[in-house]
Amino acid sequence: MFFTYNNSLFLKSRSLLAVLVLLCFGMFPLGAPGQAKNPVPVEKTSPLCKAEDFRSMAYSINDVQAREKRALEWLGRYGKDCSYNEIEAIRSNVAVWLGTADTDKVHQTVKELYLNKKPPPSTLEVSKSTTSAPVIAPSGSIDTTVTKKVKRLPNKVDEKTAASKEYSLRDSEIAQCLPNEIANWNDGAKDTKMLSPSMVYVYEHLGAPSGVSEDAVFSVLQQAASAWDQCGGQNTVMLKRDLFDAKGIFKIAVQWNDDDKLGTIGLANITKKTLTLSPEAFANLKKANASRNLMETLQMVVSHEVGHFQGLTSHSRRCVDVLSYYSNDAGEKCFIRDNGVMPKNFEYRSLLPTACDIQRCRMSNSN
């Protein structure tokens, strides 16, 4: 049986209630979003690769086979001219733009172009600890030499803290999931499969707190979605104004509002398929600590809530996991490897899913 539940990340790490309701699974895209009468229009010519041109081409072709053919032709003609940012935008949205024309051949072509354009690790800005999501081998063992790199968010940790043994231990826990380390608070139903193998997080910026830009939130969502892709699904992000036709996609609406007064920063509502962020909570955080890095907090919250849509119901008792909280109402604490002590000068929880988060997700989705 599959259950519906609400999950939220409390600022002060309080335990959460899970509401059990029967849920329905989504489907892969069934048709092309935005269809036109002319099945093979003249493609807009451009000497350079632009993601918006690829999207316009996809939205203007009704026939699935013709759309696939034209997509492959477009990629063959312009792909070599794509900048890293343009091909990354295509890769993130191709499932939505092409619908069922996003075949294995198209997917592989885009992937190869993306890998060819991706800067080497040495040139990417990578946070020292929290924005490198671990890659897990099929056996469940951890490959700590290969990591999925993403752009760094602002990091307030100073060099002295980064060199401390506590921070080093945190790095190790993020990158490795040792035997018997996966442990939950048992505060929700049993983990299930992800809502859909392909999910699109559709973001609307209306209601966001002042000082939080649309681009910043979109980037946070992309990083969370990309990191959770390692569980085996496909998570893409797009702006609501760019969604011309929602038919055939499994949509998660990402929004700002305080309609649900639950004292939470973020809330994953599986029944309604919404990820809600609280503008009031973020404004209060800023008032309480003007120097607080809200983008890091936002990244942690979004990564946590996206994890619930991957099928992870209960919260982790491993302090470093992005699905964790630190203590419950009974005063019980989360744990740190080797009986480590919770540091007071930096946030121990990861901003992105850890090795154990991903391993747990793969386990729940392989059953």
Separation CA 270–CA 105 (nearest Å): 32
- pLDDT at residue 50, rounded to an integer: 87
Same domain? 277 vs 317: yes
Query: E strand or H helix at 185, and its extent?
Result: none
Q: How is residue 290 annotated by DSSP?
A: T
Residue-wise pLDDT for 44-77, tens only, equals 434 578 888 898 888 788 888 888 999 999 999 9
pTM score, whole prediction = 0.63
Mean pLDDT for all residues in the chain: 77
Written as six digits, the tokens of 36 are: 């036109």
User: Residue for token digits 């496909």?
Assistant: 234
Same domain? 195 vs 276: yes
Separation CA 227–CA 222 (nearest Å): 8
- pLDDT at residue 161, rounded to an integer: 60
Same domain? 8 vs 91: no
**Residue 73 forms part of a structural domain:** yes
Classify residue 337 as exposed, middle or buried by CB count within 10 Å of its CB (0-12, 13-18, 19+).
middle
Written as six digits, the tokens of 165 are: 């043994």
Backbone angles phi, psi at 147, to 5 degrees: -130, 155
| Number of independent structural domains in the chain | 2
- pLDDT at residue 337, rounded to an integer: 95
Containing structural domain, residue 194: 3-28+180-366
- pLDDT at residue 146, rounded to an integer: 32
Strand partners, 318: 335
Q: How is residue 242 annotated by DSSP?
A: G
**Residue 33 forms part of a structural domain:** no
Same domain? 85 vs 185: no
pLDDT at 152 over 70: no
User: Which of 84, 101, 118 is a domain's end point?
Assistant: 101
pLDDT at 303 over 80: yes
User: Would you place residue 274 in the very low, low, confident or very high pLDDT band (cuts 50, 70, 90)?
Assistant: very high
Same domain? 10 vs 93: no
- Smallest CA-to-CA distance from 112 within 75, 145, 68 is with 75
Written as six digits, the tokens of 96 are: 């939505």
Are 285 and 9 contacting, i.e. CB atoms less than 8 angstroms apart? no
User: Which of 41, 66, 101 is a domain's end point?
Assistant: 101
Least confident of 27-41, 188-202, 284-298: 27-41
**Residue 192 forms part of a structural domain:** yes
Task: Report, in angstroms and rounded to the nearest whole number, the Rg of the chain calculated over CA atoms.
Answer: 21
pLDDT at 163 over 80: no
